[in-house]
Amino acid sequence: MGKSRATPKFAEMKRRINPRDSRINKKDRRKSKKKPKDQSKIVERQVPKVSSALFFQYNTQLGPPYYVLVDTNFVNFSIKNKLDIVQSMMDCLYAKCVPCITDCVMGELEKLGPKYRVALRLVKDARFERLPCMHKGTYADDCLVARVNQHKCYIVATNDKDLKRRLRRIPGVPIMYIRQHRYSIERMPDAFGAPKV
């Protein structure tokens, strides 16, 4: 005769006493974790007002000729991909485009030194519109975000991930970037590179 094996018993649960069982004293019972809401401590949220120019999710102030704020790395990536900035913008948007350069972006390009002198010479072209900056500092990302918050008539051209993340939080601002050796754009329904939904 072999050894008898104890087979496991299936569907057996641990037995626990119900917290409301009459055998537990009132002082030993666990208190409920939910606290009653105090009406005096309710805080109102401040939601920023959205521009009246936005119809659904698209900006109605945008129209040809498009004014495109160009970032430093966008110029550098355009040169690396051998793209003419103005012509490639027109191919993407099917309309006349005016690339705009702020003083902060010019300052960043000048700080990069002689390695980026081609980009600096390209930006000083007469087809680019120069926008003066009245704020302190020369950080271009803050400058572009502040300008787009004030005026909803710009498209921002950048390849910087952090700047794109900041711009996506602002409703109605299209973002142009370089993808597969051509310009693409998001949040613009009629453009070439716009994703089809």
Establish if 21 belongs to a structural domain.
Answer: no
pLDDT tens digits for range 15-61: 777 777 777 777 776 665 666 667 677 777 777 777 766 765 567 77
pLDDT tens digits for range 162-192: 999 999 988 888 999 999 999 999 877 666 5
Number of domains in the chain: 1
Establish if 1 belongs to a structural domain.
Answer: no
Radius of gyration of the chain (CA): 30
Label residues 82-105 b or e (16+ Cβ within 10 Å = b): ebebbebbbebbeeebebbbbbbb
Establish if 161 belongs to a structural domain.
Answer: yes
pLDDT tens digits for range 52-99: 667 655 677 788 899 999 999 999 999 999 999 999 999 999 899 999
Mapping DSSP to helix (H, G, I), strand (E, B) and coil, where does residue 138 land?
coil
**Domain ranges, residue 163:** 63-186
Establish if 169 belongs to a structural domain.
Answer: yes
Beta bridge partners of 58: 55
**Angle in degrees, CA 81, 132, 108, rounded to 5:** 45
Q: Which residue has the tokens 């009246």?
A: 52
Q: What is the CATH number of the domain that holds 93?
A: 3.40.50.1010
Strands 54-55 and 175-179: unpaired
What's the confidence (pLDDT) of residue 13?
64
Beta bridge partners of 154: 67
CA distance 167 to 163: 6
Residue among 90, 91, 24, 53 nearest 173 (CA) = 53
Q: Which residue has the tokens 């790395």?
A: 73
Q: How far apart are the first and last CA of the chain?
A: 73
Establish if 168 belongs to a structural domain.
Answer: yes
pTM: 0.71
For the chain, how many residues are written? Answer: 197
Establish if 90 belongs to a structural domain.
Answer: yes
Label residues 151-161 b or e (16+ Cβ within 10 Å = b): ebebbbbbbbe
Establish if 42 belongs to a structural domain.
Answer: no
Residue 116 and residue 108 in contact, taking contact as beta carbons nearer than 8 Å: no
Beta bridge partners of 157: 70, 176
CA distance 29 to 16: 14
Establish if 138 belongs to a structural domain.
Answer: yes
